[in-house]
Copies of this chain bind each other. A is one copy, B any other.
Amino acid sequence: MGADAAAALIGDGMTVAVSGFTPAGCPKAVPLALAAQVRSGQRKLRLTLLSGASTGEELDNAWAELGMIARRAPYMTSKALRAAVNGGAEEEIAYTDLHLGEFAQNARCGFYGKIDFALVEAAAITEEGNIVPTTALGCSQSWIDLADRVIVELNLRQPAALEGFHDVYRPADPPRREPIPLTGVGERIGTPYLSCPAEKIAAVVVSECEEKPRPFPPADAVSEAIARNIVRFLLREKEQGRLSADRVPLQSGVGAVANAVLLGLKDSPLEHLSFYSEVMQDGILDLIDAGKADFASATSLSLSKEGLARLFADIERYRGRLVLRDSEISNSAEVIRRLGVIAMNTAVEADIYGNVNSSQMNGSTVYNGIGGSGDYARNALISIFMTPSAAKGGRISCIVPMVTHVDHTEHDVDVLVTEQGWADLRGLSPKERARLIIERCAHPDYREALRAYFEAACAATHGAQTPHILSESFRFHENLAQSGTMREEKKGDAKC
């Protein structure tokens, strides 16, 4: 069927669930055709859009710009969607931000209602009618199983040689679930394809849409310094006889800092690295090529344009070294805890007691969402959070007295790393953590103000467990709103 005819099957008010995770693996032709129908004024649609994580520009951005999305879960990264979620568009989007590892089961247990259409990108369809996915899985199999009807986009630009890179596993749901039998990053527990009863297939659309990865984030001196600190921490764990990155897998978030960490690992003395992660970035290919990494497991190959070209040009080189899993397996609490993953995620801001905000500005405006960070941080052997100590040319301190939104509580943050240094928070009381975070992680320009807050809070609460002065706890943020910087304006008194 043509993309236009397939798109016409999707009606107003429907729930559409799509394959993929990040732009990787997402359907493109049908979403673009549907957007064109709306843009031309032919149709008006308000849809619920479910996915594995974020999607490509063809989907979230195009649909949000046209006001086609009424509800969205479980994650997003798109300018137009972000605006509409935060009230900056005519038609508001009700966005539910969720732990990605829990999303598929919740949907199967009926928490989000009926799914009308699953849209799934395929690299090939086998003779038996099975679907070979493209560069990501996300919740594809669950969407197929739950949806009334399925539209498959067979993308001729995706190499059929991707067959064999996937491991699709269908867990039973409570109360009949069995242990997920995965005990090592390289094991296979499922099938290399998605399966779908023929009678559910509403359309197979042949597409030649090119994958449009997000631009590769450049590393900078600050990211490199953070990466050096992480490598130092990992080496110290090894020296002290504890489990470290040569014996347990790493999880690595997405973005410039995460990529810098991968580069830092390449140049480190650590050997036999492995990854159990949600997203593989280009750095993973570098580590495999350099003989540093033995294996990587994720739900998405979210590579740059160059990275994708490199993978596709030499795909046999990576076969047996990479596996793509359902996001409920890549992000499974059970498996992450079992493998002893060392998790490395980024914070928007952290507070002096170790609470982390990874999603909201000023407690109000969501940037992307939590994604899988909570799945990893909670269940990891060691949970590392990293952030530059300051942002916006020093006008923002990323270490604050109190975060304005908590995504990861003090109980889920073992180590905090900035370019200034790292604070190992394990086994410390909140007041001990505060002293360490201020001295080791905060930017020098803000240390005095943080010390002053901490000491004043200790005095005001007579040394309570987690001293705070509620009327002062967001002063950094209020300064920023008033004067464009978190720094205190110089006043008559000596206080910084």
Which residues of A are at the interface with B, using a C-beta cutoff of 8 A? 71, 73, 85-88, 92, 94-99, 105-106, 109-113, 173-175, 177-181, 183-184, 240-243, 247-249, 333-334, 337-340, 355, 360, 362-366, 370, 374, 378-379, 381, 402, 404-411, 414, 426-429, 431-432, 457-458, 461-468, 470-471, 473-474, 477-478, 481
A378 touches B381 (CB 8 A): no
Contact A363 B427 (CB under 8 A): no
From known contacts A180-B179, A334-B334, A409-B407, infer whether A470 and B464 are also in contact, taking CB-CB under 8 Å. Answer: no
Return chain B residues, CB-CB under 8 Å to A464: 86-87, 364-366
Using known A-B contacts A175-B339, A370-B411, determine if residue A428 contacts B94 with beta carbons closer than 8 Å. yes
Contact B468 A109 (CB under 8 A): no
Q: Give complex CA distance A180, B334 in Å.
A: 9
Residues on B with beta carbons closer than 8 Å to the beta carbon of A333:
333-334, 337, 378-379
| Residues of chain B within 8 A of A468, CB atoms compared | 362-364, 404
Q: What's the Cα separation between A379 and B337 when bound, in Å?
A: 13
Q: Quick one: copies of this chain in the complex?
A: 2
Instruction: Return the 4 tightest CB-CB contacts between A and B, nearest first.
Output: A174-B340, A87-B463, A179-B179, A406-B406
Contacts of A477 in B (CB 8 A): 470
Which residue from chain B places its CB closest to the CB of A457 in the assembled complex? B364
- A364 x B465 contact (CB < 8 A): yes
Q: Residues of B contacting A406 with CB < 8 Å?
A: 355, 406, 409
Chain B residues near A466 (CB-CB < 8 A)? 360, 363-366, 405
The CA-CA distance from A408 to B478 in the complex, in Å, is 25
8 pairs from A and B in contact (CB 8 Å cutoff): A96-B427, A97-B465, A106-B426, A111-B426, A174-B339, A175-B243, A175-B249, A407-B411
A381 touches B174 (CB 8 A): yes
Q: How far is the CA of A113 from the CA of B240 in the complex (A)?
A: 11
Q: A173-B340, A407-B409 are in contact. Are A463 and B179 (CB under 8 A)?
A: no
Which B residues touch A364, using CB under 8 A?
457, 461, 464-468
A452 CB, nearest partner CB in chain B, Å: 17
Contacts of A95 in B (CB 8 A): 429, 465
A385 shortest CB reach to chain B, Å: 15
Given the contacts A364-B464, A465-B364, A340 and B175 also touching, CB distance less than 8 Å: yes
Which chain B residue shows the least CB distance to A428? B96
Q: How far is the CA of A111 from the CA of B379 in the complex (A)?
A: 15
* Contact yes or no, B87 A461, CB < 8 A: yes
Q: In the docked arrangement, what's the CA distance between A95 and B99, Å? A: 29
Q: Are A111 and B427 in contact (CB under 8 A)?
A: yes
A340 to B105, CA, bound (A): 10
Docked pose: A243 CA to B112 CA in angstroms: 14
In the bound complex, CA of A105 to CA of B88 (Å) = 46
Point out the residues of chain B lying under 8 angstroms from A457, CB to CB: 364
Q: Which residues on B sit within 8 Å (CB–CB) of A105?
A: 337
Residues from chain B with Cβ under 8 Å of A177 in the complex: 183, 337-340
Q: Smallest CB–CB gap between A162 and chain B, Å?
A: 29
Interchain nearest-CB distance for A381 vs B (Å): 6
